[in-house]
Amino acid sequence: MNRLTILGTNSALPTSKRFSSAQVLEIFERHFLIDCAEGTQMRLRQANLSFSKIQAIFITHLHSDHFLGIFGLLSTFSMLGRKHVLSLYIPPALAEILTSHLAHYLVGELGFELRFHPLPHEDFAEIYSDKKLSVHAIRLNHRIETWGFLFREKERINVCKSAIAKYHLSLEEIIAVKNGEDLYRADGEMIPNTALRAKQKPLLSYAYISDTAFFPHIAPYIHGVKLLYHEATFLHAMLPRAEETYHTTARQAGEFARMAQAERLLIGHFSARYSSTEELEREAREFFANTTAVDDLQVYEL
């Protein structure tokens, strides 16, 4: 099952109903925690998500409402007997902070290996890759260094059975087609790779964009993404405040989703001043109809 579980939807100030930023992305049996605000452990339990299945943590930036929960979570992992490696894709300074914290405050040994992967300075760079999935970091426009993340299923080329029969393809030729190569026959005929491929279902993709000022520059990096999460901290009536704090309004989130030609938009990272998110959702929908304002503990299928 490929799904996204929202653990926290508020910005800096959590409330009794809405915690700050954290999500779990389950994709191709991989379990990734994205941001880790205070209270993430509680939300993981309330969502019935397994602590032991989390393979990697992705942290966008070093404002406390995005990473403060990681200290307790690492300790809990250790107390639960975790043995397997935990990969951390984090702002460079966080590795030093975590190392210092663990050295001074952890009782005993951690019990498992931490692998630090500092986020890159490039605007758009691959930070994770396996047979099925790639993850890219995207530099955002916030008050401090901040990154978003794009999770994208890799294209897998399967050869059409009818093409195998029609062209009497050898095993060597089938492998070449799967590798994306055009086919050249002994008589000089060239058969394009696209004519030999089996039709493929749409690829899964998810982009997490929080926190940032309105930043159309990055729309091409996530063009056509199936599911987009974008911060919408304020209503557009508070645009001066949004610009001052390098955040985005709900209207701007809708405009960005339209620019990126996303399939679906989720908005979150709401200011605590809003007791209801209905108006934020309505404002974003004026510019991108397929918009949902998220709530804590909601689950979305990819």
Active site residues: 65
Backbone phi, psi, residue 250, to 5° = -60, -40
The residue among 98, 101, 100, 81 whose CA lies nearest residue 90 is 98
DSSP secondary structure letters along 122-135: SSEEEEEE-SSEEE
Whole-angstrom distance, CA of residue 3 vs CA of residue 78:
26
Interatomic CA distance for residues 290 and 131, integer angstroms? 31
Task: Give the three-class secondary structure for 53.
Answer: coil
Contact partners, residue 47, CB within 8 Å, separation at least 6: 5, 7, 24, 297, 299
For the record, the structure tokens of 128 come out as 């994770």
Question: Strand, coil or helix: what is 140?
Answer: coil
Peptide bond into 211 cis (omega under 30): yes
Copy the structure tokens of residue 177. 């087609």
CA distance 119 to 130: 18
Task: Read off the tokens for 302.
Answer: 């990819």
d(CA 281, CA 236): 12
Dmax over CA atoms of the chain, in Å, equals 73
